[in-house]
């Protein structure tokens, strides 16, 4: 989501478990925030790049 949520820990923002309640908005599955989504997209693209072994 593009929203500044704190529903998943980690990422470049360094969200910790103690910070989850700061902006936790969902009633079901937690969402990645904008920066976490970008980080995940780059990690997946690196894994899918030719010549990268798993």
- Count of domains for the chain: 1
pLDDT digits (tens, 9 = 90+) for 18-33: 998 888 888 888 899 9
Q: Is residue 54 part of a domain?
A: no
pTM, 2 dp:
0.72
Q: Residue 23's Cα: distance from chain center in Å?
A: 14
The chain-wide mean pLDDT, for the chain, equals 87
Q: Is residue 11 part of a domain?
A: yes
pLDDT of residue 49: 86
Full residue range of the structural domain in which residue 2 is found: 1-48
pLDDT of residue 43: 92
**Tally of CB atoms within 10 A around 38:** 13
Residue spans of alpha helices (H) in the chain: 34-48
What does the radius of gyration of the chain's CA atoms come to, in whole angstroms? 13
């Amino acid at each position: 989501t593009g929203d500044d949520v704190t529903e998943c820990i980690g990422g470049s923002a360094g969200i910790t478990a103690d910070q989850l309640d700061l902006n936790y908005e969902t009633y079901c599955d937690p969402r990645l925030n904008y920066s976490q989504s970008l980080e995940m997209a780059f990690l997946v693209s690196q894994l899918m790049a030719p010549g990268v072994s798993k």
